[in-house]
Amino acid sequence: MFNTKEIRAHFPILKRETPTSLPLIYLDSAATALKPQCVIDSVNKVLSSYTANIHRSVHFLGDEATEAYESTREVVAYFLNAEPNEIVFVRNATEGLNLIANCYNLKGKRIISSYGEHHSNYLPWTENVFRLSLNNEGEINLNELLSELDKGDVALVSLSHMSNVTGNILDIKKVIQLSHQYGAKVLIDAAQSAPHTAIDVNELDCDFLVFSGHKLGSPTGVGVLFGKACLLEEMALFLKGGSTIEEVTLNSASVKNAPWKFEAGTPAIESVIGLGVAINFLLEIGMDEIEARFHELSRFTYNEIQLKLPQASILGLQSSLSSGPYSISINGISSHLLARGLSDRYGICARSGYHCAQPLHIHMKMPASLRISFWIYNTKAEITKAVEGIAALAGIHGS
């Protein structure tokens, strides 16, 4: 059974004093998650016990650092049901998406994405791109996808698994099946879904997938690109330099195999090792347990908003079956004002703005929104306090 109290005990930041002297309520996990003590300890251990460069230091510190670094590749492979040589360490999902955009040979063919993407999966695609529209609930129309695939000449379909604004979950298995029928490869942005649900890239048969470590409890500065081994080997270098080559002569260089050919220079070694520890922490809880808890909190949040904030508009699926995060707008009241009020009055951290998805807001004709996003350490009582705080602030400023 999911024990929130026990889980919360692993996150030391929850014990800190806030400027209001009230307990910290953190509802901004869609931006970045809090870090458990085991991850903090792992980073400290690297920095205090075996700081060294990897793969090239011929001494015991280098051996220990390399072993810990490469063992994380195996942890991530297990997490995704992939092979270790299909796991590339990048700085974040943004870098992984840009790596594909710059190095995968699209051969001048078309790309399909959508208006609902995070800027990281929107801005890299500037040429020959068709963007799927969204309905009033923020969902992609799969019939429109099928129609575009049927026109032919599509090299890549790049879509998010879960929206960081609406919480809508895409039927990626269906998207992959349809796309492969027409010879198109599929890139999944799993930055929002990876912290909440088990992902099996082998079962899904996706070609590429990215996620950021900092959204699932690891240090910042590390992310993952999964790519089918055959596709990674076909791709050109993203960055050229140390660690990407086997040998350099005066006039030539021989390139390493994937994934190492994409990991130029000295990486964020302690962050990569922390990523492995964060994933193991989640696996010990159980991804099925985490997903069930996530949906429970999502339904509860929806009901609280409907009951206590009837004047609020929710971006996305208007149903208790939808998944968080929840982004809301209250007519005539700035979302920034609400976020600042939550912080200054109640010690509650929530997100205000376009959440790096301005085209989504524009397409849905919605202003900047206030986002409530929760994770494994949040309680229903915290969500109630946040919604009641918003209601109080809206009443003050609405008058």
Domain locations in the chain as residue ranges: 4-30+286-394, 39-284
pLDDT surpassing 70 at residue 174: yes
Give the per-residue pLDDT at 349.
Answer: 98
Percent of the chain with pLDDT over 70: 98
Write out pLDDT tens, residues 210-241: 999 999 999 999 999 999 999 999 998 888 88
Query: Quick check: helix, strand or coil at residue 145?
Result: helix
DSSP 8-state class, residue 104? S
Whole-model pTM?
0.95
Query: Residue type for 387, please?
Result: V
Give the per-residue pLDDT at 364.
Answer: 87
Query: Residue type for 395, please?
Result: G
Give the per-residue pLDDT at 204.
Answer: 97
Give the per-residue pLDDT at 29.
Answer: 97
* Ramachandran area for residue 215 (φ above 0: left; ψ -120 to 50: alpha; else beta): alpha
Structure-token pair, residue 134: 């969204």
Position of tokens 């399909």? 112
What mean pLDDT is reported for the chain?
A: 94
Write out pLDDT tens, residues 132-151: 999 888 889 999 999 999 99
pLDDT surpassing 90 at residue 316: no
For residues 293-309, give the mean pLDDT. Answer: 94
pLDDT surpassing 80 at residue 369: yes
Cα–Cα distance, 279 to 78 (Å, whole number)? 10
Inter-residue contact 124 to 97 (CB < 8 Å): yes
Give the per-residue pLDDT at 397.
Answer: 64
pLDDT surpassing 80 at residue 246: no
For residues 174-187, give the mean pLDDT. Answer: 97
Residue 49 pLDDT grade (very low, low, confident, very high; cuts 50, 70, 90): very high
CATH number of 39-284: 3.40.640.10
What is the full DSSP assignment across 38-49? Answer: HHHHHHHHHHHH
The active-site residue out of 103, 206, 349, 356 is 356
What is the full DSSP assignment across 54-103? Answer: SSS--SHHHHHHHHHHHHHHHHHHHHHT--GGGEEEESSHHHHHHHHHHH
Residue 322 pLDDT grade (very low, low, confident, very high; cuts 50, 70, 90): low
- Give the CA count within 13 Å in the CB-facing half-sphere of 274: 31
N-terminal to C-terminal alpha carbon distance within the chain: 45
Structure-token pair, residue 26: 């953190």
CATH number of 4-30+286-394: 3.90.1150.10
Q: Poorest-confidence range of 228-242, 246-260, 370-384?
A: 246-260
Cα–Cα distance, 164 to 175 (Å, whole number)? 19
Give the per-residue pLDDT at 398.
Answer: 55
What per-residue string of b and e applies to 356-366 under the rule 16 or more CB within 10 Å gives b?
bbebbbebbeb
Give the per-residue pLDDT at 237.
Answer: 86
Residue 1 pLDDT grade (very low, low, confident, very high; cuts 50, 70, 90): confident
Annotation says 356 is catalytic: yes
pLDDT surpassing 80 at residue 290: yes
Q: Which residues contact 370 (CB under 8 A, 6 or more apart)?
A: 327, 328, 329, 330, 335, 338, 339, 350, 351, 352, 390
Cα–Cα distance, 161 to 245 (Å, whole number)? 34
Residue 242 pLDDT grade (very low, low, confident, very high; cuts 50, 70, 90): confident
Residue 321 pLDDT grade (very low, low, confident, very high; cuts 50, 70, 90): low
